[in-house]
Structure 1
């Protein structure tokens, strides 16, 4: 056993000093960890108690508000949607996160000061500086990043959505005209490449997609509208189609006094005249922005039934998307929806519906949160709309409800509708029937139908031999294998018989 040094010796003084240094070091680290776990607690113990009380009360208030917000959002999803789309609340949250970042960073620096770093040994002093810097920048950085994300969301709401008044549902449904904009140079949004009315139940989110061909002619306009006054007998201008209304209106913008989007207004008046539905809102999709959106969510899985060309044979990048279930990137998804080479307009319309359905089903809230900044950047360049910010939470809620339901479709195309001379009464009858069926209002079959049907059970079900030794009936002939459905241009069906995705009660089943 080594001899105990006499009291007052140099070794005793060194041991005592070293122990005191370790105690001060642990105290300094503890003060910083206290600040991390409970902001203000270090000041209550060793510093300015007034600052500590203010910090602690602020932190407890933030925790209580956060817990209440999470509980409310979990129980009532509408609270979260409202909070995420209210620009004033988002601005308050953004400034609050920035203030928290600055205040918490100050508390960490003050906790470092309270640890008396100048009294520590050099290695302990460096360690305390490193720990304090790491905690300070980690916490403040996380809060500032949160403020940035909130700012991005607020900017998205301001740039994409209008501040106009909300329009109530018509007969229990919101009708939104979705248009794909021609993104040619200098012509963005001037000529809709595709037009689809999304008719959405205002309670259940049950959706019917009603597509109109861009080459429709000789159609009426909504009664009393500007276009109805100009064309009381319908749009019968030689060589002009439905997708030409936008450019016609821009050439006659003086007729649409006070309108910010005369081309969109004229198109809506035509769509309302054709379908008999009153539009609530419209959205114009820039197809280049759509490509970026698909990339932002990591692609979309589609059932490619035939080779789909990407580009034209004259393009340097021309190639094919091969058949099979494939996750397509933005460029391939865009060409899957737009390609007409080796196809036709109506097959393309069917593929466009399949893309819409896939996007709705596959872009989950988790995906949206994970890729939020990319989605926000793509969305702000993708969509122009008159949906007011006050209604965004309503449509987000309806979209989530729609994800769990079948999407019905109706396309006003041949062979059902002659696009050159459409039977508008038939069109509106089909539209009303599709919505009624989606709402569950379809007429039931006659009650005696089941009774009148012949009972074929005995004829098709083999029986055991009779107990008396009689011969068993001959076995039923094997059923003839059902021929696979025809596929044209990548869509189930053909031009003559129609495409399944263009008129279906379950879009997912035919895509």
Structure 2
């Protein structure tokens, strides 16, 4: 009877349903065997698609219907394997096995059941969590086409946090990505840039025809990042459709200004506040940065007292230290800070792979769904995930619109800026067939 128990439960592990075919309800056994082979077939097809057509898997894994289908399939198999294993225990008649054999057989089958059915059940839970996260962060909208062969995404880092009121986009970057090759360049705009022109035809182009703040503005200071605050607080009616399009009046005003400054058409934006950035880094297990010079962490709101230092060298930073690395101002300039922010952005792009994200989807969902805003459509995610895989394999370019590049933020030469941007975003990859 002990051998019989080992055989039945062992077969149930190898081919769920086979125990019932040999010694029990054959109808249930046939159903279990067929379902098990179908599951193996699904796994094999998924593996083949991951090599031959990864966009198919990405589309399924980033759509509401696809994630619900995955969740239901995994939940179904978790329940089926539980039923088949419990029934196999009954068929094995463990009560007639030797005491030692009974213990080992039961423990073995229980461990396998926990590993197989438990993993399937957990996978179903992760799929529903991912679906909720994607629905909260990304919008339902048509996909926009590339402009001159590129996608230009406005990245805003807001300074909202526990110790601040309101939000100001202190980190302003355009990620310009070749729509075919994935070649990318990060264009950093200083928050203190003045006289920003607005793209022709935009609401603020009429209000500030000579540039933002040329003759004053509606807030205390007339800097680039003040545009967000002014429009959000004083004139949100200038952008009545912003909320319906997954944005806000302040973000749309910033988009118009950045388009006017760079000459690029901005298809999408992504905004994350400072605390959200810290939580996101923690959820992904930290970020590795090569620190060129020690960076101070401040102990006061005026950024004058140093609490500790981030030492030079390769550092694995948690969210707290990564945030301070990006925002530290003690004995440094805004332009130094911009360089560190760009370094962090590049590290995030290069180090956080889809596999890494997939294994930590619950933590990411908890950190991001309430602190990240974007108007990227959920339907575009498979394309952008695939494009990001190309970007990570290439050097990421950088252009800082700062004095080091002969740009004076107080009196910018916007024609010169647009020339620099055009040169930085010109394709540089050699066509493999050119030879």
What TM-score comes out, normalization by structure 1 length? 0.77
Match of 2:345 in 1: 356
For the Cα contact (< 8 Å) 2:192–2:224, is it kept in 1? yes
Shift in alpha-carbon separation, 1:333–1:118, aligned structure 2, 3 A: closer
Among 18, 25, 29, the residue aligned to 1:52: 29
Structure 1 segment 136-215 matched on structure 2, within 5 A: 136-185=113-162, 190-215=167-192
Q: Does 1:402 align with 2:384?
A: no
Among 220, 224, 239, the residue aligned to 1:256: 239
Q: Measure how far apart 1:200 and its partner are.
A: 0.2
Match of 1:269 in 2: 256
Match of 1:28 in 2: 5
For the Cα contact (< 8 Å) 1:112–1:128, is it kept in 2? no
5+ unaligned residues in a row in structure 2: which ranges? Answer: none
Among 323, 333, 337, the residue aligned to 2:312: 323
Deviation per CA, 1:425-449: give whole Å up to 9, x if none.
11111111111264679xxxxxxxx
Q: Does 1:85 align with 2:75?
A: no
Residue 318 of structure 1 aligns to a residue whose secondary structure is strand
Q: For 2:185 and 2:337, how far apart are their aligned partners in 1?
A: 18
Q: For 1:189 and 1:170, how far apart are their aligned partners in 2?
A: 33
For the Cα contact (< 8 Å) 2:5–2:97, is it kept in 1? no
Q: Rg bigger for which structure?
A: 1
Q: Measure how far apart 1:147 and its partner are.
A: 1.2
Q: For 1:345 and 1:125, how far apart are their aligned partners in 2?
A: 70
For the Cα contact (< 8 Å) 1:109–1:132, is it kept in 2? no
Q: Measure how far apart 1:29 and its partner are.
A: 2.5
The worse-fitting range, judged by mean Cα deviation, of 298-307 and 346-355 is 298-307
Q: For 2:392 and 2:109, how far apart are their aligned partners in 1?
A: 47
Match of 1:419 in 2: 409
Q: Measure how far apart 1:76 and its partner are.
A: 2.7
For the Cα contact (< 8 Å) 1:300–1:333, is it kept in 2? yes
Match of 2:381 in 1: 392
For the Cα contact (< 8 Å) 1:307–1:321, is it kept in 2? yes
Structure 1 segment 430-469 matched on structure 2, within 5 A: 430-436=420-426, 438=428
Q: For 2:430 and 2:10, how far apart are their aligned partners in 1?
A: 61
Match of 1:489 in 2: none
Shift in alpha-carbon separation, 1:203–1:425, aligned structure 2, 3 A: same
Residue 422 of structure 1 aligns to a residue whose secondary structure is coil
Deviation per CA, 1:432-485: give whole Å up to 9, x if none.
1111264679xxxxxxxxxxxxxxxxxxxxxxxxxxxxxxxxxxxxxxxxxxxx
Residue 28 of structure 2 aligns to a residue whose secondary structure is helix
Q: Does 1:307 align with 2:289?
A: no
Q: Measure how far apart 1:364 and its partner are.
A: 3.5
Q: For 2:309 and 2:97, how far apart are their aligned partners in 1?
A: 70
What TM-score comes out, normalization by structure 2 length? 0.89
Shift in alpha-carbon separation, 1:169–1:290, aligned structure 2, 3 A: same
Q: Measure how far apart 1:282 and its partner are.
A: 0.2
Match of 1:6 in 2: none
Structure 1 segment 105-144 matched on structure 2, within 5 A: 105-120=82-97, 125=102, 128-144=105-121
Q: For 1:319 and 1:94, how far apart are their aligned partners in 2?
A: 46
Shift in alpha-carbon separation, 1:136–1:405, aligned structure 2, 3 A: closer
Q: Measure how far apart 1:275 and its partner are.
A: 0.9
Q: Measure how far apart 1:243 and its partner are.
A: 0.6
Shift in alpha-carbon separation, 1:354–1:128, aligned structure 2, 3 A: closer
Q: For 1:117 and 1:60, how far apart are their aligned partners in 2?
A: 27
Shift in alpha-carbon separation, 1:130–1:326, aligned structure 2, 3 A: closer
Q: For 2:166 and 2:26, how far apart are their aligned partners in 1?
A: 61
Total equivalences in the alignment: 418
For the Cα contact (< 8 Å) 2:160–2:274, is it kept in 1? yes
For the Cα contact (< 8 Å) 1:304–1:325, is it kept in 2? yes
Q: 1 or 2 for the larger relative contact order (CA 8 Å, sep ≥6)?
A: 2
